[in-house]
Amino acid sequence: MSVELNELNFHYIKSYIAQGKLPTFTKLLAARDLVETDAGEVYPELEPWIQWPTIYTGKTYAEHQLFRLGDIAYKDQPQIWDYLETRGVSVGAISPMNASNRCERPAFFLPDPWTHTKIVAEPRAKKLFELLGKMVNDNASVNPSILEFAKQILPLALPYLSSRSIAGYFKILPMALKYKWAKAAFLDRLLADLFVALWQKHKPGFASLFLNAGAHIQHHHTYDSAVYGGDKANPAWYSKAAETDADPLLFIYEVYDGLISELMALKDAHVFISTGLSQVPNERDHYQYRIADFNGFFAKVGLIGATIRPRMSRDFLLEFPNTAAARAALPVLNKVRVGGQPLFSIEERDETLFCQVAYFGKPEGLEQVSIDGIEGNMKDEFVMVSIENAIHQSTGYHIDTLAPKGGSQRIVLTDVFDRLCAAALAQGVTASQAA
């Protein structure tokens, strides 16, 4: 199985290990090679929705040309699941980033919340996953309480929980009650429980699990961590972690430490861990915003005829009936300005427009947004997603939890595809021989 800990910083994990923390990672790195991967990309091609397709296809960005989250739905690119399936390996996936279900008969395939593709799962799992996806997309504008979260999720999730995972939720709960950022760990814990239940039921020859809370918390709260050595600090109105001595990075790494222990303990599980990328501290002030209510906002702007598809963070896609309608929307969007500059960056793609909120200044700047020359306070129309504490770097990490030490110390990212395929195909041969 491929466990995808998006952008996780193993250079920080090593620092915590030196402090006597993270027992599972401590044992793992003592026994196995921590292989560095090199994506070989620079900005703007250095993004997780580009590098995960690199792992899934075994191709560089120049070859697969998947540039935006959700692009895979519009491009015919073979991926690891359909590649293995055509070679007789049963497959499954939970929340792979920028991946499309092109399989004939997957054991289960539950895509990320932003990519529109076929969901394959038993009815309860499908309903649970759809609810989780809605909550992820609504998270920027709606902040449900833990009680409300549990009320919606628990009836569906209960059959997938174990005594050990329930103990894990109770470890997360105190932090999630105090800090909004800690709630992301609940989602990863749920995805892991769902993955384990479906994996044990179907026993696919290859299955992948994508977890994103680590990347999210690193992006938002690296400055609050004990292992951050720079001089930047989050303002108190943004983060209470520094005031209370909470360490967001240690918190999510401890959650993952427990999850990896559980996955490695599964019978017949050959676990691979990959990060795609990792992060380094951001040394400049960089605020990111998301539209709180897309339909309400664009009604005020005067945009009509568009289907709005929110993506991660500040991104969203506008779909139109045809190319002419998309082109007609450009001047409507460009008339929205802040500080004399367009509020949105726009990428034209035939009948779609891929848009991003392009304002990165402090929140008070949004008090002077103009629409067609008429200025007004639109601060409440946006939710600040983050003060970007960390940015992407090309180095990632890869661990084969069964391979002996002494292998390669650095590989190109495309090689991860080959390693995963080789292990899945070898396991399929072994299973057929045993039968």
Task: Report pLDDT digits (tens) over 53-104.
Answer: 999 999 999 999 999 888 998 888 999 999 999 999 999 999 999 999 999 9
Whether the CB-CB separation of 126 and 119 falls below 8 Å is answered with: yes
Average pLDDT on 201-222 reads 97
Taking the C-alpha atoms of residue 61 and residue 199, their distance in angstroms, rounded to an integer, is 31
- Which residue's entry shows tokens 């040309």? 65
User: pTM higher than 0.85 for the full model?
Assistant: yes
| Residues 39-72 as b or e (16 or more Cβ within 10 Å = b) | bbbeeebbbbbbbbbbbbbbbbbeebebbbbbbb
Q: Looking at the structure, do residues 229 and 322 belong to the same domain, yes or no?
A: no
Q: Looking at the structure, do residues 229 and 329 belong to the same domain, yes or no?
A: no
The pLDDT of residue 144: 60
Taking the C-alpha atoms of residue 234 and residue 236, their distance in angstroms, rounded to an integer, is 6
Q: Looking at the structure, do residues 222 and 368 belong to the same domain, yes or no?
A: no
Whether the CB-CB separation of 118 and 102 falls below 8 Å is answered with: no
Whether the CB-CB separation of 250 and 20 falls below 8 Å is answered with: no
Q: How many domains does the chain have?
A: 2
First to last CA, the chain: 21
Strand ranges of the sheet holding 206-211, from the earlier edge strand across to the other edge: 108-110, 91-94, 206-211, 2-5, 272-274, 395-400, 35-38, 410-412
Taking the C-alpha atoms of residue 205 and residue 434, their distance in angstroms, rounded to an integer, is 14
C-alpha distances (whole Å) from 189 to each of 86, 263, 403 are: 31, 12, 26
Taking the C-alpha atoms of residue 144 and residue 325, their distance in angstroms, rounded to an integer, is 36
- pLDDT higher than 90, residue 408: no
Q: Looking at the structure, do residues 130 and 275 belong to the same domain, yes or no?
A: yes
Encoding tokens for residue 181?
A: 């950022």
Whether the CB-CB separation of 245 and 30 falls below 8 Å is answered with: no
- pLDDT higher than 80, residue 397: yes
Q: Looking at the structure, do residues 86 and 122 belong to the same domain, yes or no?
A: yes
Q: Looking at the structure, do residues 133 and 10 belong to the same domain, yes or no?
A: yes
Q: Looking at the structure, do residues 247 and 359 belong to the same domain, yes or no?
A: no
CB proximity list for 305: less than 8 A, separation 6 or greater? 320, 321, 325, 329
Q: Looking at the structure, do residues 225 and 296 belong to the same domain, yes or no?
A: no
Whether the CB-CB separation of 84 and 91 falls below 8 Å is answered with: yes
Neighbours of 378 (CB within 10 A): 19
Residue ranges making up the domain that contains 302: 287-387
Half-sphere exposure of 378 (CA within 13 A, CB side): 26
Q: State pLDDT tens for residues 280-294.
A: 999 998 999 999 999
Among 183-187, 201-205, 416-420, the minimum mean pLDDT is found in: 183-187
Neighbours of 317 (CB within 10 A): 21
C-alpha distances (whole Å) from 377 to each of 262, 345, 358, 363 are: 50, 20, 17, 11
- pLDDT higher than 60, residue 431: no
Q: Looking at the structure, do residues 185 and 208 belong to the same domain, yes or no?
A: yes
The pLDDT of residue 428: 65
Q: Looking at the structure, do residues 238 and 314 belong to the same domain, yes or no?
A: no
Residue 222 DSSP code:
G
SS3 182: helix
Q: Pick the more confident residue, 432 or 382.
A: 382
Q: Looking at the structure, do residues 270 and 372 belong to the same domain, yes or no?
A: no
The pLDDT of residue 151: 79
- pLDDT higher than 60, residue 140: no
CATH number of the domain encompassing residue 403: 3.40.720
Taking the C-alpha atoms of residue 396 and residue 9, their distance in angstroms, rounded to an integer, is 8
The pLDDT of residue 435: 33
Q: Looking at the structure, do residues 371 and 429 belong to the same domain, yes or no?
A: no
Half-sphere exposure of 379 (CA within 13 A, CB side): 9
Average pLDDT, the chain: 92
Average pLDDT on 263-278 reads 97
